Structure 1
Amino acid sequence: MTRIRVCVLGRTRVEVDGEPGRLTPLTKRLLLRLVAAEGDPVPVRRLYEDVWGAAHTGPGQAGRARNEVQKRVLELRRALDPAQDGTGQRVLRTEQLLAAPTPETAYRLVLGRDELDCAEFSGLVASALFATPASAAHQLMTALALVTGRPLADLSDEPFARPLVRRLTALHETARRHLITAHTELGRYELAVPVAERLTLERPDDPEVAGMLQTLRTRLRDRHGQELLREPITGSGSGGDLVVVRGDLFAQDDANLVVGFTDTFDTATEQDLVISRDSVQGQLVGRLFNGDRKLLDDRLQAGLRSITPSSTERPQDKPRGRRVRYPLGTTVPLVVDGRRVFAVAYSRLGNDLVARSAPDDLRASLDSLWQSVARYGMYKPVAIPLVGTGLARVVELDRTQLLFMIIESFAAYTRREPTTAPELRVVIRPEDLARTDLAAVGGLLRTLPGAPGTDAVTRGTS
């Protein structure tokens, strides 16, 4: 059978077997008049008065009206049934009304939900009102996607169209309000906000709608907390997100942490001679090991036993701190409260107790770090500070370039190992924000799939 689709939730459109149907203006008016009847038969007399705008009475007028209506009915049937397989007779039926003083010819439009968009829309909304939030959200989004404009837009001001237009308009608002509720119950505030914003624009004086939007925005801000940016890492192939947050690395309770070390894995902070108390590794002892530096040292040394040192300093050359050096990129996963702290060496501690690193050192260390994250990270989010900005002294790169390097390195590794982590969370200190161009990150992410090596670092300097 011929496949028909009549769309009246906006400008009138007719499709027959997937192809646009062509209707003359009068035939289109006839179709809309029959749609507005919502499945009821419409007598020829009423069709002529409403579609042609002419009176049915007068000498010879009844015969003329009947002929005009029959001509347009035939044209509509042909448009809906070009193959002449009986579809036209099925969807546009001829009936006799026997309740009138004399039998009267009438026409009834019979379209299923899959053939008439406003019928499908009404059915979806009605079903959604009694569905669970997830099912309701799906049904309502499907229903609202059918709406492209005002119902029966071509004849919406005609008296015969007003009842259906009012009903569909009210149902449209009901659908949007219930969609906001469903998204809210599912915690999808970011999906609910645009719907509420549209309602607010249409109803600027409605305090209920304004309050709904304000509540949603507040909940969204509360959920994001210190979150500054969230974007998919398009080059990773894993569907993971890049998240940039303002604040404290050690407050990321739901994530594994990355803490940078020097190649000697020193932890001593006494008098700030070897490791600064204010550095991330200096804070690690107090924040996660309750000030027990020996416990941290023991766990680090246990993890380093399987690593071959790169060299050992003589006491006269390095009188303070540890003297055994390990290759840059050496990573020790430490178990702390059910998550992992990845202690990674990305700078060299000179015998003068000054830490130094360079872009190539940092990039190589990051590449090694992700291997450990993939192996031991239990597929949890991984939070990393903006490494290289502090005492590691990667002076060749600014903060934006350092951020680019972290993102590119992670994305490159996760293209090979998509299960490395579902989220890379870069934690930036408030004092570093003004010197970090987060607006440039979106452009970087769009180029990741084709960006070789550290090209984005070069782009960041141009």
Structure 2
Amino acid sequence: MKVLGPVRLEVDGAPVRLTPLTARLLVRLVVAGGEAVPVRQLRRDVWGLADEPRQLDQRNRNEVQKRVLELRRALAPGQDGVGTSVLRTEQQVTVQGPQTAYRLVLRPEELDSARFTAIVSDALLAPPATAAHRLAEALSMVRGRPLAEVNGEGFAMPFIRRLTSLQDSARRELVRVQMDLGHPERALPVAELLVHEHPDDTEAARVLDTLRAELRARHGDELLRHPVPLAGQRAEVVLVRGDLFDQADCNLVIGFSDTFDTETSEDLVISRESVQSQLVDRLFAGRRRLLDDKLRAGLRKTKAVGTESVRAKPLGRRVRYPMGTTVVVPVDGRRVFATAYSHLGNDLVARSSDSDLRLSLENLWASVAVHGMFKPVAVPLIGSGLARVTDLDRGQLVALIVDSFIDACRRHPALTPELRLVVRPQELAQTDLTPVEQRFQDLVPGPRATDWR
């Protein structure tokens, strides 16, 4: 039987429908807590009838017996309903003479409030990890306000107050132990519910403010985090505000042109402000030739698609490689994935397109799956710089990279534990992240918040 919310009677796992008066009789017997309830008390509480002289109340007693019989048949379907061990008939001796009384006898596992009470009582004495598990288990049983059908009735109020008080204690303790375990994100929805139900509780409001502040501090420059919504995948997509080269725990992705130019002198071939130039300065201490040597070594097995003449392209490299070519460059125990996503014209203007970027990303993920050592991968907003993909804005570029990554996760289950998209602070105001959030909402339909009612 379930009373942690609207009353529900189930027999052998199947719901049993009761008439309103019979359901009310069942509730009255439940709140008695296993004690026998005299017929006169039942008439007052269930039917709202005042006591009458004994010779005049036979009809009322017959009504009680009729409902008791209906309840017995519901509790023991297929039997005659007489002498059931669940709903017992007793005789009590009173100053007015013997009086019939009824006692409901349920095992603890047959009543959800009894199971709830036992689990919470154990959890309140348990260490934090065990307590968190048990309290969450108990609170998952709650479907609403206990005994909602008789809320406000005098006979039910002590029972309801006891359960709601225990429910509040369970929620407060769950918030506390989740904070002790370092999981404020799990404590937050429970704390929010407590404040919603107790708007005047200053301590609950203080705890909620503390949780929110802790989560804000924890996120720091993190702007977005979602798990990849694929069965068997444990990868996450994270978007942070910051500097690509500060992501010291990650492999890095650097976009190049199809000639893999690195020359930055006089800003004629590659801009000194470009990511490629920063790569030379930040990871190779300005030793451009060292990076060039590593790129050439990585390109040896890749067939060129053409070579420009000195006359056609007097500056920069002249050998062109297929769009999407990815070179793996080892640096200090991690990898830099240099991927060609743009075409550097002989006029030294880099141009790219939606299709070029998609092809580059597809080849990039295949290379990461083989050479990435299952490290996080940090990716800048490829296509937003000098070799701009003009038909997509920054938000759409983020969405394209995320879509490509999720598709690659289907093909490469052990791709990387984290795709970290890094947006420079000065680019953030022009980057609408709504398309990315919409992607994840579309991929994961339905509510995502846990209901701790």
Whether the TM-score (by the shorter chain) exceeds 0.5 is yes
For residue 173 of structure 1, what is the aligned residue in structure 2? 168
Q: Distance in 2 between matches of 1:104 and 1:259?
A: 88
- Alpha-carbon deviations, 1:179-214, whole Å to 9, x = none? 222333444433322221121122222221111111
For residue 450 of structure 2, what is the aligned residue in structure 1? none
Alpha-carbon shift at residue 361 of structure 1 (Å):
2.2
Alpha-carbon shift at residue 283 of structure 1 (Å):
1.1
- AA aligned to 1:252 is Q
2:188 pairs with one of 193, 201, 220: 193
For residue 396 of structure 1, what is the aligned residue in structure 2? 391
Q: Distance in 1 between matches of 2:82 and 2:322?
A: 78
Alpha-carbon shift at residue 104 of structure 1 (Å):
5.3
Kept in 1, the 8 Å contact 2:224–2:238? The answer is yes
Check 1:134–1:85 CA distance in 2 against 1; reply closer, same or farther (3 A cut).
farther
Check 1:56–1:434 CA distance in 2 against 1; reply closer, same or farther (3 A cut).
same
1:333 pairs with one of 293, 311, 328: 328
- AA aligned to 1:246 is R
1:436 lines up with 2:404 in the alignment: no
Kept in 2, the 8 Å contact 1:44–1:65? The answer is no
Q: Distance in 2 between matches of 1:48 and 1:228?
A: 62
SS in structure 2 of the partner of residue 266 of structure 1: coil
Q: Distance in 1 between matches of 2:158 and 2:220?
A: 47
Q: Distance in 2 between matches of 1:142 and 1:57?
A: 48
1:137 lines up with 2:132 in the alignment: yes
1:282 lines up with 2:299 in the alignment: no
Alpha-carbon shift at residue 101 of structure 1 (Å):
9.8
Kept in 2, the 8 Å contact 1:236–1:415? The answer is no
Alpha-carbon shift at residue 364 of structure 1 (Å):
1.5
Q: Distance in 1 between matches of 2:101 and 2:213?
A: 56
For residue 213 of structure 2, what is the aligned residue in structure 1? 218
For residue 383 of structure 1, what is the aligned residue in structure 2? 378
SS in structure 1 of the partner of residue 84 of structure 2: helix
Kept in 2, the 8 Å contact 1:300–1:334? The answer is yes
Kept in 1, the 8 Å contact 2:73–2:80? The answer is no
Check 1:348–1:87 CA distance in 2 against 1; reply closer, same or farther (3 A cut).
farther
Contiguous gaps of at least 5 residues in structure 1: 1-5, 450-462
SS in structure 2 of the partner of residue 7 of structure 1: coil
Contiguous gaps of at least 5 residues in structure 2: 445-453
Q: Distance in 1 between matches of 2:19 and 2:360?
A: 71
For residue 183 of structure 1, what is the aligned residue in structure 2? 178
SS in structure 2 of the partner of residue 367 of structure 1: helix
For residue 448 of structure 2, what is the aligned residue in structure 1? none
Q: Distance in 1 between matches of 2:400 and 2:59?
A: 80
> TM-score, normalized by length of structure 1?
0.85
Alpha-carbon shift at residue 240 of structure 1 (Å):
3.5
SS in structure 1 of the partner of residue 103 of structure 2: strand
Kept in 2, the 8 Å contact 1:36–1:161? The answer is yes
Kept in 1, the 8 Å contact 2:395–2:434? The answer is no
Q: What is the 5 A alignment of 1:312-323?
A: 312-315=307-310, 317-323=312-318
1:238 lines up with 2:233 in the alignment: yes
- AA aligned to 1:385 is P
2:198 pairs with one of 192, 197, 203: 203
- AA aligned to 1:93 is R
Q: Distance in 1 between matches of 2:400 and 2:61?
A: 78
Q: What is the 5 A alignment of 1:14-413?
A: 14-56=9-51, 58-60=53-55, 67-84=62-79, 89-96=84-91, 105-234=100-229, 238=233, 240-315=235-310, 317-413=312-408
Alpha-carbon shift at residue 375 of structure 1 (Å):
0.8
Kept in 2, the 8 Å contact 1:380–1:421? The answer is yes
Alpha-carbon shift at residue 215 of structure 1 (Å):
1.3
Kept in 1, the 8 Å contact 2:236–2:417? The answer is yes
Q: Distance in 1 between matches of 2:412 and 2:54?
A: 85
Kept in 2, the 8 Å contact 1:137–1:183? The answer is yes
SS in structure 2 of the partner of residue 119 of structure 1: helix
- Alpha-carbon deviations, 1:52-71, whole Å to 9, x = none? 34455634368666554433
Kept in 1, the 8 Å contact 2:344–2:350? The answer is yes
- Alpha-carbon deviations, 1:235-280, whole Å to 9, x = none? 7973543333222222333332211122232333333233222111
Kept in 1, the 8 Å contact 2:69–2:82? The answer is no
Kept in 2, the 8 Å contact 1:247–1:429? The answer is yes
Check 1:288–1:234 CA distance in 2 against 1; reply closer, same or farther (3 A cut).
same
Q: Distance in 2 between matches of 1:236 and 1:283?
A: 38
SS in structure 1 of the partner of residue 254 of structure 2: strand
Check 1:397–1:236 CA distance in 2 against 1; reply closer, same or farther (3 A cut).
farther
Count of residues in Structure 1 that have an aligned counterpart in Structure 2: 444
Query: Which is worse superposed, 55-64 or 400-409?
Result: 55-64
Alpha-carbon shift at residue 103 of structure 1 (Å):
6.2
SS in structure 1 of the partner of residue 109 of structure 2: coil
- AA aligned to 1:221 is R
- Alpha-carbon deviations, 1:81-132, whole Å to 9, x = none? 1221879712212345579897654322122333222112212222322344
- Alpha-carbon deviations, 1:407-454, whole Å to 9, x = none? 2322222222222223333222233334333212244446679xxxxx
Q: Distance in 2 between matches of 1:133 and 1:320?
A: 66
Kept in 2, the 8 Å contact 1:234–1:446? The answer is no
Query: Which is worse superposed, 138-147 or 206-215?
Result: 138-147
Q: Distance in 1 between matches of 2:378 and 2:4?
A: 48
Alpha-carbon shift at residue 348 of structure 1 (Å):
2.8
Alpha-carbon shift at residue 171 of structure 1 (Å):
0.7
Alpha-carbon shift at residue 313 of structure 1 (Å):
4.1
1:416 pairs with one of 401, 407, 411: 411
Q: Distance in 1 between matches of 2:390 and 2:45?
A: 80
For residue 454 of structure 1, what is the aligned residue in structure 2? none
* Identity value in percent: 59
For residue 3 of structure 1, what is the aligned residue in structure 2? none
Alpha-carbon shift at residue 28 of structure 1 (Å):
2.2
Check 1:378–1:129 CA distance in 2 against 1; reply closer, same or farther (3 A cut).
farther
